[in-house]
DNA sequence: CATCCACAGGAAGGACGGGGGT
DNA sequence: ACCCCCGTCCTTCCTGTGGATG
């Protein structure tokens, strides 16, 4: 699909779908690399730029990253988004060529700030007389297209590509091949490979998961001074990976999000019902104890939604008729895991290990379960 | 049927840290 | 040095809402 770039002409916009761990990003990066070196050899002025929309987070930062890739220096804040766009455009106009922008996790961009930037990007060519810009959008949300306006949709999906999940057999092939490089012969048996791939296949065929699982299994085996990797190590590795992910996600959370999480933890431990209302008052008490100014209920509600989207919490809207509507919260992560993360938090841990007697919530709603 | 609870979540705007241009 | 503008994070204010109750 990108071959026209070799001849110096514009490529179609491409849209790539597929679940996580099916190799979209890997393929995109690899293809971009190959094309970069090929076009260089041919002496074409072509650039293949990769950005990850979700990691960058905002419209502005994505544009700034694109600009930086074209050696346009922009500050991390202070400029209007439109201004950055303008600078990018004029930089592109100055050096004629073929430019392909790979926008990974493009669904995140649209969910955060709408399809405006995409729209602008699809019609950037109109103001570039001698260069061409085309887009490669990558999304792991198949239903995501519905968020797009028709004007963007038609121009973005000139060509489409779907990456199907790997089957357990395909995963096993990948793992076997990697295992040959990473392990001494005979250390990893076929049954271990089969288990890793089966576990990953059951989680929608995520190859990254499978590889991580095998790698960590090896580490676990090594730590246990075992000469071979066996099924038990794989099971242990599963737990290690899970905890690692949780730990990383939670420790990087801002203070107030961690405090909200601590409130949920306290309420859960005490067996109170955990709803947005009770959590907020527990959170406020926590703020009082820490001498921190509490955020408003509105903001806390927003932070809870963020935790929900991260998959730390599950929320469920419940209606009790006359007794109002509320969001029930449930931790999706084992209580002990969260506790151990918060325990290593120097600000919050004293409150969790010796919970003061009256960090309490409002009296529970007298409603039937 | 209307009411009303206890919130959800949208809109608008303000404080702040940090630009650009002159 | 000055002014104005920007994105981010948060607040304030507001309207919307599912369903038991009167």
| Same domain flag for A149 and A68 | yes
| Same domain flag for A264 and A338 | yes
Give pLDDT, residue A143: 64
Which residues does A354 contact at the CB level (< 8 Å), separation at least 6?
none
| Same domain flag for A304 and A231 | no
pLDDT tens per residue across span A110-142: 777 777 788 888 888 888 888 899 999 998 876
Q: Is residue A339 part of a domain?
A: yes
| Same domain flag for A115 and A88 | yes
Q: What total of structural domains would you count in chain A?
A: 3
| Same domain flag for A65 and A131 | yes
* Hits for CB < 7 Å against strand C across A residues 25-44: none
Give pLDDT, residue A360: 42
Q: Is residue A28 part of a domain?
A: yes
Give pLDDT, residue A159: 86
Give pLDDT, residue A59: 84
Show which of A103, A135, A163 is a domain's final residue: A163
| Same domain flag for A30 and A159 | yes
Residues of the domain holding A78? 3-163
Give pLDDT, residue A358: 46
| Same domain flag for A245 and A345 | no
Q: What CATH number does the domain containing A315 carry?
A: 1.10.10.10
Show which of A139, A163, A187 is a domain's final residue: A163
Distance A217 CA to B10 C1' (A): 47
Strand C, nucleotides covered by protein (CB < 7 Å):
5-8, 10-14, 16-21
Distance A243 CA to C15 C1' (A): 42
Global confidence as pTM? 0.71
Give pLDDT, residue A98: 92
| Residue numbers of chain A with a pLDDT score lower than 50 | 356-369
Give pLDDT, residue A146: 64
Q: Is residue A177 part of a domain?
A: yes
Give pLDDT, residue A18: 86
Q: What CATH number does the domain containing A193 carry?
A: 1.10.8.60
A75 CB and strand C closer than 7 A: no
A292 CB and strand C closer than 7 A: no
| Same domain flag for A100 and A143 | yes
Give pLDDT, residue A111: 72
Q: Is residue A369 part of a domain?
A: no
pLDDT tens per residue across span A291-309: 889 999 999 999 999 999 8
Q: Is residue A359 part of a domain?
A: no
| Same domain flag for A51 and A122 | yes
Give pLDDT, residue A361: 40
| Same domain flag for A276 and A324 | yes
| Same domain flag for A217 and A205 | yes
For C4, nearest residue by CA–C1' is: A78
Q: Is residue A305 part of a domain?
A: yes
Q: Is residue A363 part of a domain?
A: no
Q: What CATH number does the domain containing A52 carry?
A: 3.40.50.300
Give pLDDT, residue A369: 27
Q: Is residue A358 part of a domain?
A: no
pLDDT tens per residue across span A233-264: 999 998 888 888 778 878 888 889 999 999 99
| Same domain flag for A233 and A103 | no
């Amino acid at each position: 699909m990108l071959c026209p770039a070799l001849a110096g002409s514009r490529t179609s916009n491409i849209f790539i779908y597929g679940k996580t761990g099916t190799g979209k990003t890997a393929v995109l990066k690899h293809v971009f690399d190959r094309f970069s070196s090929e076009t260089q050899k041919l002496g074409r002025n072509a650039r293949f730029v990769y950005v990850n929309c979700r990691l960058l987070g905002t419209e502005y930062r994505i544009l700034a990253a694109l600009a930086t890739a074209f050696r346009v220096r922009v500050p991390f804040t202070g400029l209007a988004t439109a201004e950055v766009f303008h600078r990018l455009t004029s930089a592109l106009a100055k050096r004629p060529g073929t430019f392909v922008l790979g926008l990974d996790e493009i669904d995140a961009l649209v969910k955060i700030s709408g399809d405006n930037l995409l729209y602008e990007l699809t019609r950037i060519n109109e103001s570039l007389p001698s260069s061409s810009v085309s887009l490669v959008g990558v999304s792991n949300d198949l239903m995501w297209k519905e968020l797009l306006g028709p004007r963007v949709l038609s121009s973005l999906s000139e060509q489409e590509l779907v990456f199907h999940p790997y089957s357990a057999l395909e995963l096993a092939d990948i793992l076997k091949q990697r295992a040959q490089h990473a392990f001494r012969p005979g250390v990893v048996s076929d049954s271990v490979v089969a288990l890793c791939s089966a576990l990953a296949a059951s989680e929608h065929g995520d190859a990254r998961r499978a590889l991580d699982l095998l790698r960590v299994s090896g580490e676990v085996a090594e730590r246990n001074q075992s000469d071979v990797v066996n099924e038990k190590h794989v099971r242990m590795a599963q737990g290690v990976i899970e905890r690692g992910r949780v730990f990383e996600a939670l420790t990087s959370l801002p203070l107030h999000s961690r405090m909200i999480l601590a409130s949920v933890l306290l309420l859960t431990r005490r067996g109170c019902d955990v709803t947005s209302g009770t959590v907020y008052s527990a959170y406020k008490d926590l703020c009082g104890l820490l001498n921190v100014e509490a955020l408003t209920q509105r903001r806390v509600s927003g932070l809870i939604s963020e935790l929900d989207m991260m998959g730390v919490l599950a929320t469920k809207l419940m209606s009790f008729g006359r007794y109002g509507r509320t969001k029930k919260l449930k931790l999706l992560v084992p209580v002990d895991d969260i506790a151990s993360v918060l325990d290593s938090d120097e600000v919050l841990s004293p409150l969790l290990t010796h919970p003061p007697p009256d960090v309490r919530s409002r009296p529970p709603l007298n409603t039937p379960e």
